[in-house]
Amino acid sequence: MQNNSALDIACASFYIGQQYYFKNLRFSLPQQQWTCLLGRSGIGKSSLLKILAGLIPDNQHQLQVKHTSFSPLNQHISYMAQTDCLMPWLTVINNVLLGVKLRGEKKPYHTKQAMDLLTQIGLAEKASYYPHQLSGGMRQRVALARTLMEDKPFVLMDEPFSALDAITRMTMQALAFKLLQHKTVFLVTHDPFEALRLGQQILIMQGNPVKLITVPTPSIPPLRDMNDSVLIEYQQKIIHQLMEEQYAVS
């Protein structure tokens, strides 16, 4: 893996026909840090992640990356969606191994690696279970293990914890932060508190035309204490900014 896993985007645009949803966005993802992206529904947060992951057709987007050896970019990215996307006919361990199996790369050491990951997420004893036998939180842990199995320098996460209950969501945040601490992570979220708990950098997608605004983050490092009064103060500021944006477009 290359040592410098920072990513500088010189231009990101998304359009269908002559209609632009966003145009010429510029931003950086600092190396081995979490960048969290907030913004109103429908503004294009998920589309931006999908462009980086190579999941939007070439005739609908433009992407320019500055000074990177990660080319093509999508081959250096793991993508974790809002839903767990587990294959119901595969066991837990085979879901974790899905990527290497699809690429025809599966070797005995991959199975050991998958079992090691399941141990780290506390599900080694569920390796032979099927997705329907797991709780929602367990399924998301399996999805996280599958993401880690890809071992890519960049990890894109599209609201992966939003469907979980509050306690499970906080547990998953802590687990993901621990296991992804050597990755460059780009997380889309609707939750300012989640962004403040996890993010070294927080961006807000807003405006017309759409732009990305960097907002201040607390000086204390992530994983930040949920009971810290500083987080409440920063959360109120972010909510106020998001509300102003919502009123402006309603």
User: Residue 184 phi/psi, 5° resolution?
Assistant: -95, 115
- 142 in a structural domain: no
- 107 in a structural domain: no
Averaged confidence pLDDT in the chain: 93
Rounded distance between C-alpha atoms, residue 67 and residue 233, angstroms:
37
Per the CB < 8 A criterion, the answer to whether 79 and 53 are in contact is yes
- 126 in a structural domain: no
pLDDT number for residue 1: 41
- 122 in a structural domain: no
User: Can you give the residue range of the structural domain that contains 182?
Assistant: 7-86+153-249
Rounded distance between C-alpha atoms, residue 207 and residue 225, angstroms:
31
Nearest to 162, CA basis, from 179, 140, 184, 183: 140
Rounded distance between C-alpha atoms, residue 22 and residue 84, angstroms:
28
- 242 in a structural domain: yes
Helix (H, G, I), strand (E, B) or coil at 239: helix
Per the CB < 8 A criterion, the answer to whether 192 and 242 are in contact is yes
Contacts of 59 (CB under 8 A, 6+ apart): none
pLDDT number for residue 2: 46
List, for the chain, all residue ranges whose pLDDT scores fall below the cut of 50. Answer: 1-2
- 116 in a structural domain: no
- 219 in a structural domain: yes
Per residue in 12-69, pLDDT (tens digit) is 999 999 999 999 999 999 999 999 999 999 999 999 999 999 999 999 999 999 978 8
Structure tokens of 177?
């932060």
Per residue in 112-128, pLDDT (tens digit) is 999 999 999 999 999 99
- 190 in a structural domain: yes
Nearest to 15, CA basis, from 57, 49, 45: 57
Helix (H, G, I), strand (E, B) or coil at 145: helix
CATH number where 75 lies = 3.40.50.300
Number of domains in the chain: 1
pLDDT number for residue 3: 53
pTM attached to this predicted model: 0.93
pLDDT number for residue 247: 64
